[in-house]
Structure 1
């Protein structure tokens, strides 16, 4: 009865269009009232204690730093740098789109932020070069999913907190899978552009001009070096790195590139505050939801049922992928991580699978969910920025999605892609 109330009411509220945080909170409250095992004050207490976490402080800082760097001229410098290296190839702008998304992902930590920042600059340029709008939007929406795979990643911080693992180790585990996906999407962009008759850009960038572009972009190129290098070098924690990213973005945008105006800061801070409030409300209610599951021993019963019927880790991970792909199409990424981690993690650890490896598999699955309807947030952002219909964006993501799913299988069944780099550093 408790399980039926918890999941049934939650699903019903989502179907009628209730915001996910409210759905989680109401379903948890109703289950507690029926259960009677703990008092109703468990809900507000859970909302407070869920976000009372030092690692979670990184989330608002990463959100704000992504806003500042997207508006402060850093994304344009990354685009200019990409032209130096990829402009001479067929489909150069498409390749540049993916390469810039890879680099911006190492700044923003967010998929939608990556799509918005890169798409706003590249969609008009790609349209002028004759690229199909659906191809351009679909490609950037798909590459934008790297924002949650390549560190620093907000979902990785949430997973690390939920699974009680090291944020730094999770960040390091995401580097090779993220680069692998980025290289595969670059290959697809080149192949599809060549197939559609796109030619290299006619204008050639000489060595002197290239040196000037790189020098101008040095402050943008230093961002991941400072943030990730400081984290992996033990100079500061991921939370401290996020705060440094905010300060860096402010200084570079206001005083170096001077594209960030003081008058615009209120809007940027307000936008970041709204996003943070939404994220933290989801974190709080999803944590309460997960704790209700734990009180009712639902994860333990599920683990026992699965271990009795599935003995092979290969089959188990295949079932996990199918489940997470389905969940990712309907549920917001952060809520899915907080709800599903306490349910699924005991199953995979019992099968001898590393929590960090499973975390990367979970995040890649949910990143794919960002570009699949009906709740693919990257699709909506790309549609709005490119000013084309959602249907056209979905058409443009069909082939990249097939590629992403093939890579998901590779990442799932070759754990070395996730675990080699952390083990190299003795983690």
Structure 2
């Protein structure tokens, strides 16, 4: 295990991508300690990707890319401006509520940061917000993108933990919305101190109808995707295909903002992004296998059992560990590495895999906004030119909302377990 961990961290420090760091570190273990098993490695790597459910991953990614390229963000911003722009600190509320809705469409926090940030940050700066604060609001609110359904990380967790994707989608809905509402509470406090203005006046009835009509078709995407899975009409893979087809139809036929010539580039981008995730999944299988060979889950379980912790204390220890892991390991490999090790221990302690899954993804979402990895920080930095340190400082007050929601969900599991009451 020393060889495994030292080699992994050494490669991460010199800038080797996480997928190859995991793969090289795992191969080194087998070369030096288990050379007889090297011939089995290709099979073990491919087994983790050879799942029908994983076809949903590139389809969800394609759906988000198409909606982003179709200019849907401006329609959502106009709708949110109508709803909350009249309140003090209106643009802050608009930023958060747009991220809340966009997260339910794209399923990606990084896409949320790129799309909403490019539109909202310059406008907020013109209305009296510092660029640091505007950037902080944008990256912090984008964490809802991987919590509010449909969520790409939630799909990966559901497959890894062998849970229903539809149930995981519903379980993450309440915590995701709570994060947005708590962040709006932070905006209210900051507006009182800094005098942030309202964003717009009252619209006429005709203008309101126009704004709603422009945004309504986009709102149907999460209804189609999540509703078809939960209602048993389609599998997660089929619902992702429905969502992608609907997104293309909106962009090409209805809105006419997406030319057919742009589709090949979007398909290519979705393939490349999906391949990156699949490579990480394949390489992480080596690590999971090594952990099994070394009996790490059993040893860790015995250690935690010996501490005689209550279920809440055990869950708190795990969440703190995940919070630390998320600062230097991206979301997908963290889910793939943590779940097989920790989930059996928590299940034995009576903690639901559904409850843990929501906490795991919610906690890892914070890692997208914390240095040194912080994918959302890096995207926002490329938009604004600010350092990731300054953006992180702007995001800190809003990340407290994330932490508060995680604590509330830990104390009240019913916030995530209510979907299980719907099934007999």
Give TM class, smaller chain.
over 0.9
Structure 1 contact 78–221 (Cα < 8 Å) conserved: no
For the structure 1 residues 276 and 312, does the alpha-carbon distance in structure 2 shift closer, same or farther, using more than 3 Å as the test? Answer: same
- What is the RMSD computed on CA atoms of the aligned residues? 1.5
CA deviation map 1:23-66 (0-9, x unaligned):
11111111122332752122221221111111211111111110
For the structure 1 residues 310 and 374, does the alpha-carbon distance in structure 2 shift closer, same or farther, using more than 3 Å as the test? Answer: farther
Cα separation, 1, equivalents of 2:111 and 2:47: 28
Q: Where does residue 310 of structure 1 map in the other structure? A: 308
Q: Where does residue 425 of structure 1 map in the other structure? A: 422
Q: Where does residue 170 of structure 1 map in the other structure? A: 168
Alignment of 1:230-249 (within 5 A): 230-249=228-247
Deviating more after overlay: 333-342 vs 116-125: 116-125
Deviating more after overlay: 250-259 vs 302-311: 302-311
Cα separation, 2, equivalents of 1:283 and 1:357: 23
Structure 1 residue 333 corresponds to structure 2 residue 331: yes
- What TM-score do the two structures reach when normalised by structure 1? 0.96
Q: Where does residue 89 of structure 1 map in the other structure? A: 87
Q: Where does residue 356 of structure 2 map in the other structure? A: 358
Give the paired residue count. 424
Structure 2 contact 81–200 (Cα < 8 Å) conserved: no
Deviation at 1:178, TM superposition (A): 0.6
For the structure 1 residues 363 and 202, does the alpha-carbon distance in structure 2 shift closer, same or farther, using more than 3 Å as the test? Answer: closer
Q: Where does residue 48 of structure 2 map in the other structure? A: 50
Deviating more after overlay: 3-12 vs 333-342: 3-12
Cα separation, 1, equivalents of 2:166 and 2:299: 32
- Segments of 5+ residues of structure 2 without an aligned counterpart are none
Q: Where does residue 214 of structure 1 map in the other structure? A: 212
Q: Where does residue 198 of structure 2 map in the other structure? A: 200
Structure 1 contact 94–190 (Cα < 8 Å) conserved: no
Cα separation, 1, equivalents of 2:90 and 2:236: 34
- Segments of 5+ residues of structure 1 without an aligned counterpart are none
Deviating more after overlay: 393-402 vs 29-38: 29-38
Deviation at 1:126, TM superposition (A): 1.4
CA deviation map 1:311-341 (0-9, x unaligned):
3112211111110010000101100010111
Q: Which residue, 263, 266, 285 being the options, matches 2:264?
A: 266
Q: Where does residue 129 of structure 1 map in the other structure? A: 127
Cα separation, 2, equivalents of 1:38 and 1:85: 64
Q: Which residue, 388, 394, 397 being the options, matches 1:396?
A: 394
Deviation at 1:189, TM superposition (A): 2.1
Q: Which residue, 402, 406, 415 being the options, matches 2:413?
A: 415
Structure 1 residue 225 corresponds to structure 2 residue 233: no
CA deviation map 1:352-384 (0-9, x unaligned):
100110111111110111111111111111121
Alignment of 1:280-291 (within 5 A): 280-291=278-289
